[in-house]
Amino acid sequence: MAPPARLLRRALSSASDGRGRRRAWAASLSPLERLKRLLPPEAAAAAERYAEPRPSAAPRAPPEEKMAAPSAAPAAAPSPRGPAEEKMAARSSPLRAGELALAELRRKHNATLKLLCRLEAGAVLNSHVGLLPHRDVIGRLPGQLLRSSAGARLLLRRPSLDEYVLLMPRGPTIAYPKDIGAMLMMMDVHPGDVVLESGSGSGALSLFLSRAVGPKGRVISYEIRDDHHNLAKKNYRHWRTTWKIGHMEEWPDNVDFILKDISRAAEDMKSLTFDAIVLDMLNPQSALSVVHPSLKEGGVCAVYLANITQVIDLLDRIRTCRLPFACEKIVEVTHRNWLVLPAKIKNCKSSQRVETQEDIEEDPQQKECDEIQTQDQIVLNEDEGNESFPDDAETHCSTPYIARPSRWQDAHSAFLTKLRKFRPPLS
């Protein structure tokens, strides 16, 4: 007679459905497979038609191959840099001699002193907060804090285009970046467009248009005054030259400065077609009859005017001369600066007084807003307090903050008029 253990194993192996006992290390069934085993054969076949195939597991390599794979693989040669890698390397390149650098002194968590200079090996950055030799700046990465001879902490970096426009030498009043941005949106300028500008001024708008149209586009800028014409060309060349030193790519040479009265350039306009026109001049109505035939149908002419009475004169000339322009929009772009500063709590006997650090008495000379232009160095000083960059060892604690509009506001404003050219109906 067989022993009881053998009889027990035989009973377990002979299941009523004829299938053997599933071992513990066997692959487990999915929920769908378990459900199909409970269904009739025809229902299970219908469910199998709608079931998604399970991805087969990748064959596992033997342990010997896994261990030998890293050492057997040949060392890959370094791949050449692509455009993205070169652009990242250019952005992190150190400051070099010949390019523009911006030194920034902060007071009350706001930039209050900006010094724009062209780096030279033997030159010195001079300001009321001390001296800083250019050789201490050349070779350093942008965004570093350096101390002047008087101990002031200055942030050194490359200037942006709007900062250069505000700090560059100027003759007439420039179009401010806040207004330029609105005009570029009005005209909907794209890379590759051809844009006409009347009134080069100091070259501020020309630089922004040059960047907007790109290397494949073109900007034609007319100016009636010789001194303004030369200054605009000088500022444009200066920016292009210094840009090339600190960047991998060149700034596009796509602006043609023409010294001529736009109202007498009717012959020049006959062979040209413009995607957009911008007029920054005292009497833009005198130029509309000359430039409108060269503007494409549906194109936009943006007009930059200082006061609303000039806008009225412009619209009256369009109406009386029956020019094919529809006035779509007249806007005044405002700009409001805010201060968000930690409050300083003073105990005054039984009461407490909360004041911002801006209310502390300062040297009257530091409260004046002055713009000083020296040889190869421009200083912009704005009054917003007397707090410099914090030291690394400063103790941070929770303090109340006060938010309010700044005393120093950009009061300059202009009226931007958007004119759309349309095709007159046939008479």
We report the CATH number of the domain holding residue 136 as 3.10.330.20
Structural domain contains residue 60: no
Q: What is the pLDDT of residue 353?
A: 47
Q: Check whether 365 has a pLDDT greater than 80.
A: no
Binning pLDDT at 50, 70 and 90, where does residue 36 land? low
Confirm whether 12 is domain-assigned: no
Q: What is the pLDDT of residue 406?
A: 78
Using an 8 Å Cβ cutoff, are 336 and 409 in contact?
yes
Residues 224 and 248 in one domain: yes
pLDDT exceeds cutoff 50 at 251: yes
- 68 falls in which pLDDT band (50, 70, 90)? very low
* Higher pLDDT among residues 416 and 65, named by residue: 416
The predicted model gives 56-85 an average pLDDT of 48
**Strand 295-305 to 194-198 pairing:** unpaired
Residue 49 pLDDT? 56
User: What pLDDT is stored for residue 233 in this prediction?
Assistant: 96
In a domain, 193, yes or no: yes
Would residue 218 count as lying in a domain?
yes
Q: Are residues 155 and 185 in the same domain?
A: no
- Answer yes or no: is 125 within a domain: yes
One-letter-per-residue 3-state SS of the chain: CCCHHHHHHHHHHCCCCCCCCCCCCCCCCCHHHHHHHHCCHHHHHHHHHHCCCCCCCCCCCCHHHHHHHHHHCCCCCCCCCCHHHHHHHHHCCCCCCCCEEEEEEEECCEEEEEEEEECCCCCEEEECCEEEEHHHCCCCCCCEEEECCCCCEEEEECCCHHHHHHHCCCCCCCCCHHHHHHHHHHHCCCCCCEEEEECCCCCHHHHHHHHHHCCCCEEEEEECCHHHHHHHHHHHHHHHHHHHHHCCCCCCCCEEEEECCHHHCHHHHCCCCEEEEEECCCCCHHHHHHHHHHEEEEEEEEEEECCHHHHHHHHHHHHHCCCCEEEEEEEECCCCCEEEEEEEEEEECCEEEEEEHHHCCCCHHHHCCEEEEECCEEEEECCCCCCCCCCCCCCCCCCCEEEEECCCCCCCCCEEEEEEECCCCCC
| 341 — pLDDT class (breaks 50, 70, 90) | confident
Cβ burial, residue 420 (10 Å; 0-12/13-18/19+): middle
286 shares its domain with 368 = no
Residues 196 and 330 in one domain: yes
278 and 317 housed in the same domain: yes
For 189, list phi and psi in degrees, rounded to 5.
-75, 135
- Could you tell me if 95 and 168 lie in one domain? no
- The percentage of residues in the chain with a pLDDT greater than 90, rounded to a whole number, is 47
183, 114: one domain: no
Q: Cα dihedral angle (379, 381, 386, 389), rounded to 10 degrees? A: -40
Q: What's the mean pLDDT when you consider all of the chain? A: 77
Higher-pLDDT residue of 34, 136: 136
pLDDT of 356 above 90: no
Q: Is residue 194 part of a domain?
A: yes
Q: What is the pLDDT of residue 293?
A: 93
If asked whether residues 147 and 180 sit together in one domain, one would say no
What is the rounded average pLDDT of the residues 246-261? 93
User: Is residue 205 domain-shared with residue 294, that is, in the same domain?
Assistant: yes
Domain of residue 212, CATH code: 3.40.50.150
pLDDT at 387: 46
Average pLDDT over residues 244-255: 91
pLDDT at 274 over 90: yes
Between 157 and 371, where is the model more confident? 157
Instruction: Evaluate whether residue 300 is within a structural domain.
Output: yes
Range of the domain at 271: 164-335+414-421
Do 174 and 235 lie in one domain? The reply is yes
Domain count, the chain: 2
245 and 312 within one domain: yes
Burial 16-50 (b: 16+ CB within 10 A, else e): eeeeeeeeeeeeeeeeeeeebeeeeeeeeeeeeee
Q: Tens digit of pLDDT for each residue in 104-136?
A: 887 655 556 888 999 999 899 988 888 999 999
Lowest-pLDDT range, 19-28, 85-94, 177-186, 284-293?
A: 19-28
Evaluate whether residue 119 is within a structural domain: yes
Confidence of residue 205 (pLDDT cuts 50, 70, 90): very high
pLDDT at 151 over 80: yes
The confidence score (pLDDT) of residue 9 equals 54
Which range among 102-116, 136-150, 380-394 has the greatest average pLDDT? 136-150
- Return the higher-pLDDT residue of 420 and 129: 420
What's the pLDDT score for residue 203? 95
State the pLDDT confidence band at 158, using cuts at 50, 70 and 90: very high
User: In this structure, are 280 and 177 located in the same domain?
Assistant: yes
